[in-house]
A and B are shown apart, each in its own frame.
Chain A
Amino acid sequence: MSGKDSGVGLGPVALLVILVFGASLSLVLWKSISRQRDADTEQETQWCASAFHRVLESEFERLDSLLRRRAQLWATDAFSNDLAAWRGSVDIMLTENPALLAVLRADPSEEIAGSANGEQILREVLPKVRRRQQVDPDGEFIVGPLLAATGRKVFGIQVRASGDGKDARTLFALFDAQRVVEDVVDQRALGFAIAVSANGHEVYRRDSPNGFVKASLRKTEAIAFPNGKPWLLEVAPAGNAAWASRTQGPAIALVVGVLVSGLLAAAVHFGMLSWRRERMLRRVNTELERQVVDTHRGQAELREFSEALERRVADRTAELNETIVELETFNYSVSHDLRGPLGAVINFAAILQEDSGDRLDATGKDQLQRIIGSASSAVSMMDALLTYSRSGRTELRTTHVDMNRVVQEVCDDLAVNLPQLRCAVKVGDLPNAFADENMMHFIFTNLISNAFKFARKGESPEVEVGGSPGSNEIVYFVRDQGIGFDMRFVEKLFKVFERLHASDDYEGHGVGLAIVARMVRRHGGRVWAQGAVGKGATFYFTVATTGADTDGRLAN
């Protein structure tokens, strides 16, 4: 898709080719026009020549027959004897036919009649005429030109009257051949040059001032003259007005050729431009389509990839859930199955104590009590373990929780067994949270009861519960003034079965805080503690204001 492709329709070579083509076209066109013109001209010349041929022939025939009739007429007695009458008749004839110059009666009278000039010429050429007559005394002939030196085209014609053999049988007349032809040809067919010749002598010539167009188109006709050799008629087209368009032929052809080649060049140019543009557009289109296809393919691949990823995640989650279920089932069934035998131990020990306790001494009673205590402890440990396990699995049912009410209920519940709790707990204004109310209940129960459990011996416990909203979480705390703990072991606080204090002194299994931590994490929150030995402890936990159950489910 370079700019060259799209910008230029034709290169110089293509232009040259078109120019040459245009020139050739002009030439061919010109040739064709010119050939057509030539053909037309030739035809017209032929027509012209034929026309003149007919006209001249008929003129000659008219002259011939005129003379022939006069000869017949003058052979009669009226004219043979009456010379005056004959002369009068000759004068009429000469007046009527200016081309005739003089007449000679070829009878023994040898009378000559005609114009003064004509008579004089006749007398001049008489010797030649005599010589010709001697060759053929009674024949019919044409002779001339008789005055070659003067340049006048004077011809003589002898005709014989038809009929019986009388004396005045023949008539000799002088005529101006040029005049005859002129009368017929002048002012006619001006577009042609015309020449008439007899016996190799030119009788008449009319050339066009513009010259011949083409000598090769000259047409010749033989004009039969009665009793004489045929005269030659030559007709050639001339470049006068009638043929002016002929000369414009090449110019027209050139103009047409240039125009056509220009149009052709333009057509080719724009055609190529449009073709290139179309090709470019098509290419761009194809490219775009390919990109679209690629994009679709990419999206499909991405979708496949993400689907595969989702499938893997789902598979792994399913596997994990399966494992968890298996662990839970194991945990549950172990707890449940152990609960039976341990329950039996407790029950029967209790029955023994009830039914036969009187028969045991103090040591026996103590030992029986230890059996009951240990078994009960084992059962409650298993219960705690079950609770811990379930805290990670039970469904999180989040609602808007009024934390003040929750803490109040917790205090009420705990106060059943710890009456002094009522006046020992100070509750601040707690922000509400979006959380699982049962879990919040458990958390506060655990923390507050811990605060009492780890109070300093002999002192009335002071517990403070508070909370404050943060940017994206709410922080709650439970603070006591109890025995506290060593910060070095703070990590152990929230682990299962980890204890910082002896169980002999403080009852419990070390599961409660682990459950608290797990529940907090399921709410997307954090849990931590601060304290010092003998100086009380503060337990903090947060509840995220957005999102919950992020990672707590699978923690630990």
Chain B
Amino acid sequence: MEGSRIDVLMVEDDANDVAVALRAFRRHSLEDRVCVLRDGAELVDYLQTHDLRVRSPKVILLDLKMPRLDGRGALRELRSRPETRNIPVVMVSSSNLQSDVRDCYELGANSFVVKQLGPLSPGTYLVDTVRYWLELNEATS
């Protein structure tokens, strides 16, 4: 069944970032477990159209700045619904502005990761992040 292996929802509107991330996931054989969504609205749609009791995502990588429904709005939406309240959300942003970080934690984010730019192995930090949530973190069902 399609989407049955999806454990990671990546919500990102920047095609370059998506490409870099998917390359990194591919190199670490995580490509199949990742579903990319373009913005917060798509995320909400996804969560409404999929039966979360069958398979709930183990982590959502949520960009902060997006068109339509942005990271903050999507997070607020998630945390306001009982079936999505406990899904781990990692905010991924190019901003390390203290106000952004504080806001996200207050809205119920589980982690905040600043987008890393480096000449070596682009996107690897996302692989590291996802691995933690997939392999180390114990989620509630």
Question: Interface on A for B, CB 8 Å cutoff?
Answer: 332, 336, 339-340, 342-344, 346-351, 353-354, 372, 376, 379, 390, 394
Contacts and interface: CB of A to CB of B under 8 A. Distances in A.
A55 B46 CA distance: 158
A124 to B, nearest CB: 166
Contacts of B121: 350, 354
Q: Which 10 A-B pairs have the closest CB atoms?
A: A344-B16, A347-B122, A343-B117, A347-B20, A372-B119, A350-B119, A339-B94, A350-B122, A346-B117, A379-B117
Contacts of A353: 119
A342 B14 CA distance: 13
A346 B95 contact: no
Contacts of A339: 94, 115, 117
Given A351-B122, A376-B118, 5 more contacts: A336-B65, A339-B94, A340-B16, A346-B118, A376-B117
Nearest to A342: B117
B97 interface: yes
Contacts of B16: 340, 343-344, 347-348
B98 interface: yes
| Chain B facing A: main interface SS | loop
B122 A346 contact: yes
B94 A350 contact: no
Interface in B90-141: 94-95, 97-98, 115, 117-123
A232 to B, nearest CB: 142
A525 B23 CA distance: 51
B120 A350 contact: yes
B118 A332 contact: no
A353 B120 CA distance: 9
10 contacts: A332-B97, A336-B65, A340-B17, A343-B115, A346-B122, A347-B123, A348-B122, A351-B20, A376-B119, A390-B98
B117 A347 contact: yes
A354 B118 CA distance: 12
Contacts of B118: 346, 350, 376
Nearest to B116: A343
Contacts of A343: 16-17, 94, 115, 117
| Chain A facing B: main interface SS | helix
Contact of B23 (A332, A336, A349, A351): A351
Contact of A340 (B23, B94, B97, B122): B94
Contact of B119 (A342, A344, A346, A390): A346
Contacts of A332: 95, 97
Interface string B1-37: 0000000000000101100100100000000000000
A340 B118 CA distance: 13
Interface in B35-49: none
Contacts of B23: 351
A339 B108 CA distance: 26
Nearest to A394: B98
A347 B21 CA distance: 10
A394 B99 CA distance: 10
Contact of A336 (B17, B94, B117): B94
Contacts of B17: 340, 343-344
Contacts of B123: 347
A348 B65 CA distance: 21
Interface in B69-109: 94-95, 97-98
Contacts of B122: 346-348, 350-351
Given A332-B95, A351-B23, A340 B120 contact: no
Contacts of B120: 350
A47 to B, nearest CB: 127
A350 B122 CA distance: 7
Nearest to B15: A344
Contacts of B97: 332, 390
A392 to B, nearest CB: 14
A347 B118 CA distance: 7
Contacts of B65: 336
- Residue with the greatest number of chain A CB neighbours at <10 A, chosen from B17, B65, B94: B94
B71 to A, nearest CB: 13
A340 B17 CA distance: 8
Contacts of A379: 117
Nearest to A341: B16
A330 to B, nearest CB: 14
Nearest to A369: B119
Contacts of A344: 14, 16-17, 20
Contacts of B119: 346, 349-350, 353, 372, 376
A506 B119 CA distance: 21
A339 B116 CA distance: 11
Nearest to B93: A336
Nearest to A371: B119
A343 to B, nearest CB: 5
A365 to B, nearest CB: 12
B49 to A, nearest CB: 30
A351 B119 CA distance: 8
B137 to A, nearest CB: 27
A339 B117 CA distance: 9
- Residue with the greatest number of chain A CB neighbours at <10 A, chosen from B23, B95, B115, B119: B119
A390 B101 CA distance: 15
Nearest to A340: B14
Nearest to A344: B16
A344 B119 CA distance: 11
A343 B94 CA distance: 10
B12 to A, nearest CB: 11
Contacts of A347: 16, 20, 117, 122-123
A316 to B, nearest CB: 25
A349 B121 CA distance: 11
B10 to A, nearest CB: 16
A540 to B, nearest CB: 30
